[in-house]
Structure 1
């Protein structure tokens, strides 16, 4: 049996706290919009079984105004009917990101999975019936924690073996914790999970911009990134993020859109694409043993408009940043 375990912490830090918008409320099932509500001191969030998705994340800004800082629909039913399906806040699976030619080999046996991108030249986020197109089961629910589960059968989308997965979201004071467990119960199979959350720390209330391109991003451990081809398939190379280059968010914090006027940004996120959709390597091993919960964030993003900062801690070796270049409304960034 093979297993994947992924943990991530998002610590939200407004410069001044006001808690009157976060009063405790009785814990029941889903509300009238199909959402499950969690809360802790200074933070409140809503989730739905469809894709085990986060739909709302509320925190007060520096003026005590509550902001919803992630992108999601008001009603859970909208997720299944949206034709564009931009993976809002869900858990793509069983394999996030892309598989070239929708083909892979395990133990000398070749597997062909369902293609769904680039004229069927690759499989993105698990295929046309990936996990964030499906309803998970709620297996545990308290005031500050919820666990979703899915059983992915052998042969689904062409993937070998059954996979059982548990996605647990927990809130503690000003912190959102994500834990993902996936168990391959019958056969070896590729598994890679992530949280496909879109952030807008302005809560779409900034009169000067409705995008997150003015947010400040810092990737202090990411002096390298994974090289890709024109359709964003990894090509086996590790590339340097040279100081001052369009992918340099490690030597100093920079605005997400600081590089849009740089000619080198063209093609950075694929053929004729200008923006970010890149996998940045998290280089921590050189420092010796570390505890990912306390060593420091792999990424920080902040807004001058609201004063809200999100510090992201992760036990993974890489970190994807997407500046929303492929959406119909470029209004957020996903990590």
Structure 2
């Protein structure tokens, strides 16, 4: 494990932490946006990079695709950037077409410096303190993200948050995965462990319906080439049957002789096919698997609640595990 400083933003030193395992799995995680900059895993030809990343800090300062970041306070979209909590209505920043609050707003957690608070050979923990009123959210929120490498070839993402006043919370990890770097992921096969989806309107805000995927192009219960389906930027309602460690299956991706398995404690999985990626990448250069509470959850009482109150701890754990295709 090595720790270096790659810059200073808002008076916070931005740490880069290099993590590794004996099996050749390695990652670099950085404090700006609590981001995964690189991840390599064993493959038949040797270590293979499996996430998109910028070569230096400058790329993350703009980063319109949220490449590798931690999205929050509330990931995904909130319609009109408004919600009501305990009888009071809050207006959040509108950073998508002036109508929608996306991934935490005008400068969400993905575009903020986080402090490195702990690290060792296989893990690093970053922390951010968001003051009351930032981006319109109530309460001072303290959030932590821990990245851990575990054998064999697994990246574990553990997120926690606490608050001093009632607020809304829903962090999400936003890496773009590719099992065949340099080629479009449209040839990858994807399965999602979900029998339902949350349909969206023209602004990609959920209508409130929880609809079955059976008989629709969004049915991914069996592996299917991404090229054979619709463009994906949708929240799947995961079939939650947790294992003994509390994680339930979310998705499986097959490509390039590797298999990526995603498990999580989250109720939803946003699947984004990367079609909007631009320079220095290209459309569909990577696939996002974003475990999350549901988009527009603050305005849909029948969705899993994103409300966090003082004395409670919000927690979400996700694992991305890689193995050879058999």
- Report TM bin, short chain: 0.7 to 0.9
Q: CA deviation at 1:125?
A: 0.5
Following superposition of structure 1 onto structure 2, how do residues 58-137 of structure 1 map, counting pairs within 5 Å?
58-61=40-43, 63-80=44-61, 82=62, 85-118=64-97, 120-137=98-115
Partner of 1:234, secondary structure, is coil
Q: Which residue of 2 aligns with 1:269?
A: none
Q: CA deviation at 1:175?
A: 1.2
Distance in 2 (alpha carbons) for counterparts of 1:103 and 1:127: 12
Following superposition of structure 1 onto structure 2, how do residues 275-314 of structure 1 map, counting pairs within 5 Å?
275-284=231-240, 290-291=242-243, 293=245, 297-303=249-255, 305=256, 307-314=257-264
* Corresponding position: 1:51 with 2:51: no
TM-score, normalised to structure 1, is 0.79
Q: 1:326 to 1:131 in 2, by over 3 A?
A: same
Work out which of the two has the higher radius of gyration on C-alpha atoms and give 1 or 2.
Answer: 1
Distance in 2 (alpha carbons) for counterparts of 1:150 and 1:91: 11
TM-score, normalised to structure 2, is 0.81
Distance in 2 (alpha carbons) for counterparts of 1:253 and 1:308: 14
* Corresponding position: 1:325 with 2:280: no
Q: Which residue of 2 aligns with 1:9?
A: none
Following superposition of structure 1 onto structure 2, how do residues 1-335 of structure 1 map, counting pairs within 5 Å?
27-30=1-4, 35-42=16-23, 43-61=25-43, 63-80=44-61, 82=62, 85-118=64-97, 120-173=98-151, 174-185=153-164, 187-204=165-182, 210-219=183-192, 221-243=193-215, 245-250=216-221, 252-259=222-229, 265=230, 275-284=231-240, 290-291=242-243, 293=245, 297-303=249-255, 305=256, 307-328=257-278, 329-330=282-283, 331-335=285-289
Partner of 2:228, secondary structure, is coil
Aligned length in residues = 276
Unaligned runs of at least 5 residues, structure 2: 8-14, 290-326
Distance in 2 (alpha carbons) for counterparts of 1:117 and 1:292: 40
Unaligned runs of at least 5 residues, structure 1: 1-26, 205-209, 260-264, 266-274
Q: CA deviation at 1:50?
A: 0.6
Higher relative contact order (CA 8 A, sep 6+): 1
CA contact (8 A) 2:147 2:158 kept: yes
Q: CA deviation at 1:143?
A: 0.6
Q: 1:129 to 1:198 in 2, by over 3 A?
A: same
Moved more, 225-234 or 141-150: 225-234
Describe the superposition over 1:219-246 as per-residue Cα deviations: whole angstroms up to 9, x where unpaired: 1x31110121111111110111124x32
Describe the superposition over 1:33-61 as per-residue Cα deviations: whole angstroms up to 9, x where unpaired: 96311111331111110100001110122
Q: 1:239 to 1:292 in 2, by over 3 A?
A: farther
